[in-house]
Amino acid sequence: MAFLVFPFFFNTPVFPLPAHGLNSDGLDPSWKLLLNKTNIDHAVWGKDLTITYGPFGYLSTRVGWGINKYTLLLFDLFVLFNFFFIFYTVYLRSGSKISVCLLYLGLLICLPVHFGSGTSLVLLAFLVFWILRSLGKIKPLDYSMQLCLIIILFFVKFNTGLATFIFFFAGLIYNYFFSKKSKVLFLILGLAPFILTFIFCKILNVGLAPYISGGLNMVSGYNGIMYLDQDFHWEFIFSGFIIFLIVLIFVVEFYFEKENRAKSLVKSFILFSSLYILYKQSFVRNDIQHVMDFYKYILLFVLCSYHFSSKPNDRIATTVLFLVIGIASVFSIKTKSINFFNLKARINKSSYLNDFTHFEEKSALHLFPGNNPIPQRIHERIGNKTVDVYPWNIQLLIENKLNYKQRPVPQSYTAYTAYLENLNFEFYNSAKAPQFVIYEFDAIDNRYPLFDEPKLNLSLLKNYKLVDTFSLGNRPLLVFEKTNTNKINFQRIKEFNMKIGDSLVPQPETYYEVFITNSFKGKCYSFLKHGPKLGLLIKTKNGQQREYKTSIELLKTGIFSTKFFASTNDFENFINADSLNTSNEIEFYSFNTADPGMFNKEIKIIEYKILH
């Protein structure tokens, strides 16, 4: 089993973007490359780069650019050991060998041959196993593995890694009260994750405070805006049913477990919390790839909950067997032609060995020459000066060998909160700002591009000059050059209230921060699913209306402009002082929702004068 789940390839090659493709083609490849580039450039994580992944992020993406191949090999062997130990221990101590074998078969059907972003979920399941195994006893192996997993998870993906500290201390506190070991030992164990974190922050070039602040904002902002309006109602209900069955097992066991109720409570807290993380990571985004993560990894969490070894009996074996059949069936049905089982790839490891043997730091990078060359005149104008790209296509700059200078939150769609947006604004409002910006008016998920990063766009309009344009396929792009070093400031004018659905009439040279709050119902909905749906309505003076997706956190970053832009060409025309065109004059903004009960009625608006 451990051999079969071991990777069949060593690293992920990176190829040029499709010739004249969509702007969205560069979204995922760009942030993956940026993880490696940040390590290569010795940039500070949390300060120079704020993203959900950390300096060990390449363990998920497996992009080999600039890494030492032995770190990836060591990680694979670490994962192999965890799988082997868990498979062996559960089988050895289970009261129903047949049920365990069927569970393993279900795992092979469900687990993908490449974990990708699910790597953090696999590591979290391992941690659950080692913590639950250590309850009531102190063994060096158990705590060594826990500390290793905490550090790896914290620096692979922050939103999963932060919870590991809570789980670790839940288990440690239980052992503190119910173990006869020396209290000094628990003090050492309690300090160990913090000491190791500080040490690795120095080694990996991580600014701990901004890394944590940025990560928390990423989690909060993601929950509020990154959901999709796709119908996965049946999958949502079925996942809830699976969790209900698992909870039912714990409730029944808790009822019959009269000797140690405290242990059952700790086990319940750790497993339920880890399942909640799995559930949220799967269903917040609400697309097929993320939703299927729940069904890919739920059996691993069932396995790592360690029931087979701690409470072997026919009732639990039968229940788990039902879960195996149900989950494996729905997974097979919903994935249809997608075959994650792929036995041939699982058995043949020759590609892994070959890639490892011939690996070089740039062996995975096949970007040159690229398919989307920037015109020579623009290359010559930019030269070796610094350049950024809006909204996200970083790989375009790397393929063209430009001197890319990243802003702290490098892709506009992830600047979900005022904190994150202000990181970029302070960067652009200082001497650190890039000399050039390649710009495309674009956003994901029907969000208004101007307000994904409103202050950054304001900086471009005030301190940069449009110096050239070019096209990639049918997509126009703008080239801005910094010509002004004056700082932009905001003078607070007044504060006033309005109600959801009321009109906000924008004034020239005025900036508005919008504060909308969830009701209790909205907070519960946000906790269970994602942020309630909130829309930004823009009505122009010619009678046209456009509605965009927004969120509470995104609106706190602010809005401005008396002009409406529907495209890159509109943005260009405005910059070229096409003041005769009144068709894009905005009559008002409005903030709307399909369910007003999700929000408090009062909206607070803070109005600022833009000073330059």
d(CA 285, CA 536) in angstroms, rounded, equals 20
Query: Could you give the CA distance from residue 572 to residue 568 in angstroms, rounded to a whole number?
Result: 6
Rounded distance between C-alpha atoms, residue 73 and residue 79, angstroms? 10
Look up tokens 């519960």; give the residue: 524
pLDDT at 421: 96
Question: Residue 243 burial by CB count (10 A; 0-12/13-18/19+): exposed, middle or buried?
Answer: middle
Residue 338: the pLDDT is: 54
DSSP-based helix, strand, coil % in the chain, nearest 5: 55, 15, 30
- Residue type present at position 279: Y
Structure tokens at 10: 């060593």
The residues pairing with 313 across neighbouring beta strands, listed in sequence order, are none
Q: What tokens appear for 516 in the block? A: 């909308």
pLDDT at 179: 84
Q: Where are the alpha helices (DSSP H) in 442-482?
A: 454-463
Would the pTM count as exceeding 0.85?
A: yes
C-alpha atoms less than 13 angstroms from C-alpha of 431 in its C-beta half-sphere: 0
- Residue 368: what pLDDT? 84
Indicate the angle between helix axes 69-93 and 288-304, nearest 10 degrees.
50
| pLDDT given for residue 330 in this prediction | 58
Q: Would you call 216 exposed, middle or buried from its count of C-beta atoms within 10 A (0-12, 13-18, 19+)?
A: middle
* 540: helix, strand or coil: strand
Pairing of strands 545-550, 534-540: antiparallel
Among 30, 33, 61, 17, which residue's Cα sits nearest to residue 411?
A: 30
Computed over every residue of the chain, the mean pLDDT equals 88
The per-residue pLDDT for 145 is: 97
pLDDT tens readout for residues 85-105: 999 988 887 777 777 787 788
For residue 14, which phi and psi values (nearest 5 degrees)? -115, 125
Of 260, 257, 269, 246, nearest in space to 170 by CA: 269
Residue appearing with tokens 């670490």 = 78
Q: What local confidence, expressed as pLDDT, does residue 257 receive?
A: 61
- Count CB-CB contacts under 10 A for residue 246: 21
Q: How many residues does the chain have?
A: 612
In tens, the pLDDT along 41-53 reads 999 999 999 999 9
What lies within 8 Å, CB to CB, of 466 at 6+ separation is 478, 479, 480, 572, 575, 576
Alpha carbons 224 and 516: distance in angstroms, whole number = 12
DSSP 258-293: -S-HHHHHHHHHHHHHHHHHHHHHHHTT-SHHHHHH
In the prediction, which pLDDT does 204 show? Answer: 96
Q: Kindly report, residue by residue over 126-137, the tens digit of the pLDDT.
A: 999 999 999 888
Buried b (16+ CB within 10 A) or exposed e, 477-486: bbbbbbeeee
CA 388 – CA 382 distance, rounded (Å): 11
Using H for helix, E for strand and C for coil, what is the string for 208-227?
A: HHHHHHHHHHHHHHHHHHCC
Q: How far is 152 from 140, CA to CA, in rounded Å?
A: 18
At residue 336, the pLDDT reads 46
Among 272, 273, 253, CA closest to 264: 253
Distance (Å, whole) CA 346 – CA 405: 40
- In DSSP terms, 389 is beta-bridged to 438
What pLDDT, on the 0 to 100 scale, is given for residue 319?
59
Residue numbers of the chain with a pLDDT score lower than 70: 231-241, 244-259, 306-341, 363, 578-583
Residues 247 and 245: their CA atoms lie apart, in Å, by: 5
- The two structure tokens encoding residue 279: 């559930």
- List C-alpha distances in Å: 234 to 28, 239, 525, 534, 602: 28, 9, 18, 24, 35
The confidence score (pLDDT) of residue 402 equals 95
At residue 45, φ and ψ (nearest 5 deg) are -70, 130
Counting Cβ atoms within 10 Å, is residue 212 exposed (0-12), middle (13-18) or buried (19+)? middle
Report residue 447: phi and psi, to 5°.
-100, 150
How is residue 259 written in tokens? 């000797």
Computed from CA positions of residues 559, 563, 566, 569, in that sequence, does the dihedral angle turn out positive or negative?
A: negative
